[in-house]
Chain A
C-alpha cells in the first residue's frame, strides 16, 4: 500500500521563553534552579509544529516570534509521510488538542510534542522538559502563582493553525 519507505528526520526544537530570565531568577524566586521555561516544537518534513493557545500551529522552522531555538534535539527518524502526519495532526486538533484545551501546566506545547514524538518515532522527549510544571508547582511560589498561571495561554506568533479538517474553517 505504501511503496514509499523513506525515512524523515524528526527534531525537537526547544525554546526558552523566558530568554534566560528563568536561569537567573529561578533560584531567587523559586528556590530551585530552572535552566529555562521550555517551549518545544516538533520539526519534521521541513515544518515546525507546536501546540499553543490557538491550537496546533505550524510554521517554517524557527519562524515564530521566539526566533531560533535554544537547542535542537534529534528524536530519530520516522517513516510517517507528510500526508499521514497531516491527517493525524488534524485529528488531534479536533479532538484532544483544541486551542481551548490549552493549559499552561497540564496540557501544553510539551505535552503535544511528547505525544507527537511518540507517534512519529516511538520515543519521548527529554524528561527535564516534561517535568518542568511539576517542578515549579512543587515550590511555594509556584503554588502561589497558580491561579495566575492557570489563565495564561502561550501562543508564539507567526504560524498557521490547523482549523479542523482541510477545506473547513
Chain B
C-alpha cells in the first residue's frame, strides 16, 4: 500500500481512499430520479466506487446496482475493465427492498398458479408479465408475495394471462377486435356460430351491449339520431337480421346504392359532388364504427378487405330492380361507374346501423355537406383535438386522403359548403382551406376573382350581371356554380 501518487496501476484491491491513486475522473451516476457527478480514481474498483456512491446517495452499498453499457458492474471488477472514463455516465439502480439470493429470470411458479395461459398472450411471456418482480428474488420461493405484485401490475393480471375471465375486459376485447379486423373470414365464421346468432337475435341484449360501450355513449350524446336508432326495436331487429345474413346485408347496401345512383343522374353536376361526398361519408361511417368499438356486424356490410376502402369498383353482379327513389329513375345511368359498393349512404330515410349518422340522401339534393352528420363531425373536430387525432390515426383516413389527392381540382372547387345558410361560414372557410392544402394547394395564391374566372363567366352568361354578388356567391360555395346560382337566386328579389 504505497502512497506513491499514481505509479502503481495494478493496485486495485486495497481499501484505501482513492484520491491518492491514479488520476481522478468524473463519472456521472444517473438514477431514475436524479444524477450526480462522482469524482473517482480511474483505477478504482467497483467496490470503491460503490462506497463513494453510497455516501452520496445515502444508500447501502449492497442496495446499489451499477450498470454500464448493458453490463452490471460487479464488486470485483475495476472501472477500467469496463471502460469507464471521464465524462461517461453510469446508471444506478437502488434496490428498495430486501431480496433473496438470485434475482434471476421469471418465475414459473406463477404460471403454475394461474394455470395454462391461453388466449391472447403467449405462455412464457405472460408468466413473465405476471411474474414476481422486484422485491422477491427467488422464483419458486415467493408465492405468498405474488398477489401483491400482481395487484401492483393492475388488477388480476394473472387472470388475464389465462385469457379469460379477465377483469380487464377492454384489453381482451381490443385484441380480439384487432384480430377480427384483420381477418374478416374469421368474422363470418363467428357470425355463423349458433351461439352468437342466438345472442344477436335478442335485440335488447344487443342494445345493452352496444350502449354499455363508453365510446358509444359518447357518440350517442353527440348524435341523437343514433340513440333514436338504438331505441327502435324494429330497426334493431332488422339490422341484426341483416347482420346475420351477410348476403342480405350486401343486397340491401346495393339497393341503397342503386337509389343513390339514380339520384345522381338527375342534376348532372351533382355527380362529381356525390362521389366525393361518398368518399367522405364512408370514412365518417367508419369513424362511427370505430367508435362503436367491437361492433362486429358492421364489418360484414359487403365490404372488401375488412371494409375500410372506399371502393370505386363496379358492381359486378346484376343489380336488383330499382325501387322508387324520391325522384325520377334512370336505372342504367350512373350506376356502374360510381359503383359505390359498400358505401353506406342510404336511400331510405331511416337511419340504419350502416348509416349511423343518419344521413338522409333526400337532403342530398340540397347540398352535400349540410347533412347533420357531416356538420356535427366538423364541429366536433374543431372542438375536440382528441377526436381529430383519433380520426387521423385510423386507416381509413389514408384512403380518404388518397381520393382527395387524386382529384385535386375537384377538391379545391367543391369543398364542404352548403348553398343554404346552414353551415357556419368559418367552418366553410376552414374546410375549404384544408382541402386546398390537401390538394397540395397553392390554389389560394390566386385571388378569388382569377380563381373563379371561369365560373364568373358562366354566371355572367346565364344572366347574373352583378359581378360582385357572383363573386361573393362563388367564394361562399367554393366555386360551385350550381350552388352559387341557388344562392344568388335566393337573395335576389324575384
Asked if B134 contacts A166 (CB within 8 A), the reply is yes
Residues in B with CB closer than 8 Å to A121 are: 69-70
The 6 closest A-B pairs by CB, nearest first: A122-B69, A91-B32, A166-B152, A121-B70, A83-B103, A86-B133
Q: What are the residues of chain A within 8 A of B388 when measuring CB–CB?
A: 148
A: number of interface residues (CB 8 Å): 67
A19 and B395 form a contact (CB under 8 A): yes
Q: Are A63 and B175 in contact (CB under 8 A)?
A: yes
**Chain A: CB-nearest residue to B133:** A86
Give per-residue flags for A116-141: 1 if the beta carbon is below 8 A from chain B beta carbons, else 0: 00111110000000000000000001
Question: Is the CB of B445 closer than 8 A to any CB of chain A?
Answer: no
- Interface flags, B93-116, vs A, CB<8A=1, else 0: 111100101111110000000000
How far apart sit A67 and B386, CA to CA, in the bound complex (Å)?
Answer: 21
Give every chain B residue within 8 A of A29 (Cβ-Cβ).
437-438
CB B159 to nearest CB in A, in angstroms, measures 12
Binding site for A on B (CB under 8 A): 31-33, 62, 65, 67-72, 74-75, 89, 91, 93-96, 99, 101-106, 120-122, 124-126, 128-129, 131, 133-135, 137, 148-149, 151-154, 157, 168, 170-171, 174-175, 178, 182, 385-386, 388-389, 392-393, 395, 397-398, 401-402, 405, 437-438, 440
**Sampled A-B contacts (15; CB under 8 Å):** A24-B402, A24-B405, A28-B405, A28-B438, A46-B128, A59-B129, A60-B121, A60-B129, A79-B72, A80-B67, A82-B105, A86-B133, A91-B32, A158-B174, A160-B168
Is the pair A95, B32 in contact by a Cβ cutoff of 8 Å? yes
Closest residue of B by beta carbon distance from A31: B440
Question: Which residue of chain B lies nearest to A90 when distances are taken between CB atoms in the complex?
Answer: B134
Q: How far is the CB of A28 from chain B (nearest CB, A)?
A: 5
A63 to chain B, nearest CB (A): 7
Chain A interface residues (CB < 8 Å from chain B): 1-4, 6-7, 10, 17-21, 24-25, 28-29, 45-47, 58-61, 63, 65, 67, 76-84, 86-88, 90-92, 94-96, 118-122, 141, 148, 151-152, 154, 157-169
Check A4 against B174 for contact (C-beta < 8 Å): no
Which residues of A lie under 8 Å from residue B157 when comparing CB positions?
160
Since A46-B125, A78-B70, A91-B31 are in contact, a sample of 20 more A-B pairs with Cβ atoms closer than 8 Å, ordered by chain A residue number, is A2-B65, A7-B70, A19-B393, A24-B405, A47-B125, A60-B122, A61-B125, A81-B72, A82-B106, A82-B131, A88-B91, A91-B94, A94-B33, A120-B70, A151-B385, A152-B389, A160-B153, A166-B135, A166-B149, A168-B152
